[in-house]
Chains A and B, each alone.
Chain A
Amino acid sequence: MADPTSLGSFEQIVLAAILSLGNEAYGVTIHARVEELSRPKKVVLGAVYATLDRLADKGLVRSWMSGPRPERGGRARRYFALEPAGERALRDAAETARRMCTVVEQSWGLPSRQPAKS
């Protein structure tokens, strides 16, 4: 059986979008942020929904409904946030990406970027 915490590249982007949006992560904003992160590729809104459902099934994100909102014709927003397992999976993916980046930069003779100081 596949490891539920192993992430596909699109899942990583969606998790990163949710993380960066904080308390404002719902369908429209997540889609906009995912498009921004995936530039120049266009991303279909439906693919974001399908991935969000899959991440929820894997226990990596949780969701809840807001109250009705007038700017949405009285409909609720479905907000998303990372679960601890989602944070761990994203951190692992980011570490792998950082190591891969370092190897590529060294192989191509590019100056290595220093990790951002927190």
Chain B
Amino acid sequence: MASSPPSFLVAAMHRILPPASREAVLGDLWEGYRTPAHFLSQGLTVLPFLILAQVRRRSSWPVLGLQAFVLFACLRGFVPLETHPPMWLRAALPTAFAFLALAWHDAYRAVQPVLAARRVWSEAASVLLAIAFYELVVAALGGIGVLRHDWLLRPVELLFAACSLPVLSVLRAGSGLLAAPSPAARVLTERSGRDAGDYAHFRRAVGRRNRLEIAAMAATLLLAGLIVARAPGAFPARVWLTLAGFLGLSLYLLLNGAAPALRDGGDSDAIRRAFRAEMLRQHRLRCRLVWWWFAPLFMGLSSRFILPGPAPTVSQAMAGLVLMIGLAACIDALNRERADLVRARLERLGAG
């Protein structure tokens, strides 16, 4: 009997194990090797545990929850129409596919930090692939007569799903400040010391995230503008207020969102003080922005469930309240999670 597993099996296992546990687990499987079938079965038995452990460790549940909320809303899951299949179910299935894809993406994320922009794009691609996969599954099931074709998403829903991507990306970019330092920041660290280099990295990350957020707001304004221009009838004042709010925030981010450059000649303590103050300012700004991003969803939920023109039924109003409380809880949890990260970063800065 061979004392080491066949190389093709090792290569296959290397591919399917999550990167964070690959080295140690593959070594353990190698050490316990008896036969190729035993090696394979051990690897496949271990895999679900490893994936779940990585999802638990590396996923942000508030972010995943908010992303599912946004996608479900964009797929018109909250539209209370009497249809068959029901609107909520048609939206829930692709949302579940996308949710699993994002969790999967977290489990298989590289161990080394990557640039926030790369992370955002790869996660947007995961959502699109998950929805495309859902459509393929439904089309295949429709082809053999198991499902009717009206389970497929309509073009307008696919368009809305694509439009949810800016919001999903902005949510994900929240941890961008902790992503990999850019080459320029590394050079500055070598030249001017760790604090100045860290601040330069932070400043660049803030700049990147502001640009992403402004682009996402511009995309939202453009889409809303198109809808308002094409839709018949007048829109309520709250729609205009929200759009004006997005415009105002874009301008604020453009004019006042950047982290200022450090003054020349400051000592290490001065750099740390400036760093600390700016990190707190950016954190407060982000916390408010997250609430604002979800203002349209709060308004949509209140107009659909609580104030739908004629008096709402009790169950309808209760459902609306529960959804709004759930959404608020997710936002609050996200802000707390980020506050913990900022606190840990400030402690490291104080200790450094």
In the bound complex, what is the Cα–Cα distance between A26 and B25 (angstroms)?
A: 10
0/1 per residue, A39-52, Cβ < 8 Å to B?
00000111101100
- Does residue A54 face the partner (Cβ distance < 8 Å to B)? yes
A49 touches B45 (CB 8 A): no
Q: Which residues of B contact A75 (CB under 8 A)?
A: 23-24, 26-27, 30
B27 touches A49 (CB 8 A): no
Bin chain A's interface residue count: 20 to 34
Which of the listed residues B10, B21, B53 has the most CB atoms from chain A within 10 Å of its own CB? B53
Known: A44-B45, A44-B49, A49-B46. A76 touches B32 (CB 8 A): no
In the bound complex, what is the Cα–Cα distance between A45 and B52 (angstroms)?
A: 14
- Does residue B303 face the partner (Cβ distance < 8 Å to A)? no
- Does residue B296 face the partner (Cβ distance < 8 Å to A)? no
Known: A28-B28, A28-B31. A73 touches B10 (CB 8 A): yes
Known: A65-B23, A75-B24. A57 touches B57 (CB 8 A): yes
A26 touches B28 (CB 8 A): yes
> Least Cβ distance of B31 to chain A in Å?
5
Q: Which residues of B contact A57 (CB under 8 A)?
A: 57
Q: Which residues 68-90 of A sit at the B interface, judged by CB distance below 8 A?
A: 69, 71-73, 75-78
Known: A28-B32, A57-B57. A46 touches B27 (CB 8 A): no
In the bound complex, what is the Cα–Cα distance between A50 and B45 (angstroms)?
A: 12
> Least Cβ distance of A75 to chain B in Å?
3
> Least Cβ distance of A1 to chain B in Å?
12
- Does residue A36 face the partner (Cβ distance < 8 Å to B)? no
Known: A44-B45, A46-B46. A27 touches B24 (CB 8 A): yes
- Beta-carbon nearest neighbor of B4 in chain A: A73
Q: Which residues of A contact B49 (CB under 8 A)?
A: 44, 46-47, 49-50
- Does residue A53 face the partner (Cβ distance < 8 Å to B)? yes
Q: Interface on A for B, CB 8 Å cutoff?
A: 26-28, 31, 44-47, 49-50, 53-54, 57, 65, 69, 71-73, 75-78
Q: Interface on B for A, CB 8 Å cutoff?
A: 4-5, 10, 21, 23-28, 30-32, 42, 45-50, 52-53, 56-57
Q: A27-B24, A46-B50 are known contacts; what are 19 more A-B pairs with Cβ within 8 Å?
A: A27-B25, A28-B28, A28-B31, A45-B42, A45-B46, A46-B45, A49-B49, A50-B52, A53-B56, A53-B57, A54-B56, A71-B31, A73-B26, A75-B23, A75-B26, A75-B27, A75-B30, A77-B27, A78-B24
| Pairs of residues from A and B, 9 with the lowest C-beta to C-beta distance, nearest first | A46-B49, A75-B27, A78-B24, A72-B27, A27-B28, A46-B46, A50-B49, A50-B53, A53-B53
